[in-house]
Amino acid sequence: MLKFRVFAVIPVVLAFLFSLSLPLSAAEITVWTNWGPATPHGQILASIVEEFNREHPDVNVTLDVMSGNFEEKVVLAYTSGVAPDIIIGGVARYALEFGGDDGMFLALDRFIDGPHGFSRDEFVSDMWVNSIVDGKTYQLALDGNERALFINADLALAAGLDVSQPVPVQDWDELLSWARKLTRRNGDETVQWGFNANQQNNGDRLHWMWLNGGAVWTDDYSESVINHPRNVEAMRFAAQMIQEYEVAPAPGAYSGSAVANFQNGRFAMFIGASTNIESTQRAGIQLVTVPGPPGWGENPGRFAGATASTIQIMSTTRYPEAAWQLVRRIAYERAPEITDVRGIPYMIESLKVDKFQSQPWQAFATSIMTYEGRNQLVKGFDGDAFWGVVESTWLSVMRGEIDAQVALDQAAGPIGAMRAEWRNR
């Protein structure tokens, strides 16, 4: 009987030993992205995944390109228990909305600060400004959408202005001077506005106030200071450019976006994002960009963390170590290739390459390295309601319906109430 048991076991043992010589089942990693396969950055991502699969036979990465509402699909997949392992293409607020101890994303700190991580000091502070929630890092920013002043070089030269200087417009006094010289009228009709003081969107409006040293929250984000004196000064000056100096159009006095009006010659200058460069160049516009320009207040800032794309590991992944290897490859090792074709780098060394030390890109690199980054995001706060108050307040002042001080004092009430309601939950 004993002999039978020994022989009965031998085939099992042999089978087990043979199995050790075979590769283990590969870790299956699924990546969702909204980077289209025809885009330069989408092609780079596909090549990274292909290279990674080739170098890691124990890992099989599948790259799925998602069309439609990316955020909605990710949330639905997570709540349905079928989430991917990694997502690429989210925006800055993702960590604040979906991070946290019980959130959708895996905290990355043990990987970043571990033996296979990297030094956080290799990146500008914008990398972390929207990525850390309650002291933990839930995403990495891949590329930035920085802001600067766009100047139509041909229109400036026609007005006798010198765009060959390293920084042609250095502050708001010079901005007004240039706007006056760049505004052209034909009788009672303004055919060319010097500047778009109304700004293109709410992010640009906060950016304008921060350029003057303004603030939205106290340093600990506990209270609203939307009626900060520097905010009042900034908003009042923008309204003066429209109502008093008549170098900028009022809301409703033009159609189309600011960048479209810049490209068709109606606006000689506007503050816009780095994503506007390529479409402006394709339109045949000779442009010069300028960092800021800063206002009159101390410690000028800028809209920080305007991230064009982020990368996260989902908290439900079965293979966090393998997922991190790929995330590191994309966000660190190959990051310079991505920002060479898309956005502004967060890696300091990448900001020093020739592309970002020459026009029209240098202004954005200078801005991100010079002006203190600020933003309005607070975890759990109703951003849509906040933006609604900002927009209605701004537009009423730009139309000349109310003074900036009164308008911002009135806005402080509902914004403060929103913040108090959130704190009391």
Q: What is the pLDDT along the chain (425 residues), one digit of tens a residue?
A: 322 233 333 443 333 333 344 345 789 999 999 999 999 999 999 999 999 999 999 999 999 999 999 999 999 999 999 999 999 998 888 998 899 999 999 999 999 999 999 999 999 988 998 899 999 999 999 998 899 999 999 999 999 999 999 999 999 999 999 999 999 999 999 999 999 999 999 999 999 999 999 999 888 888 889 999 999 999 999 999 999 999 999 999 999 999 999 999 999 999 999 999 999 999 999 999 999 999 999 999 999 866 779 999 999 999 999 999 999 999 999 999 999 998 899 999 999 999 999 999 999 999 999 998 888 777 666 678 889 999 999 999 999 999 999 999 999 999 888 877 766 65
Please give the biggest Cα pair distance in the chain. 114
| Two domains, one topology: 20-144+306-347 and 147-304+376-423 | yes
Could you tell me the two tokens for 271? 């503050």
CATH number of 147-304+376-423: 3.40.190.10
- State residue 42 phi and psi, 5-degree precision: -65, -40
Each domain of the chain, given as residue ranges in start order, spans 20-144+306-347, 147-304+376-423
Task: Give the closest residue to 88 by CA, choosing from 142, 10, 19.
Answer: 142
**Global pTM?**
0.89
CATH class of the structural domain 20-144+306-347: alpha beta
Cis status of the peptide bond prior to 336, with omega within 30 of 0: no
Question: Are the C-beta atoms of 376 and 304 separated by less than 8 Å?
Answer: no
Q: How far apart are the first and last CA of the chain?
A: 71
Cis status of the peptide bond prior to 40, with omega within 30 of 0: no
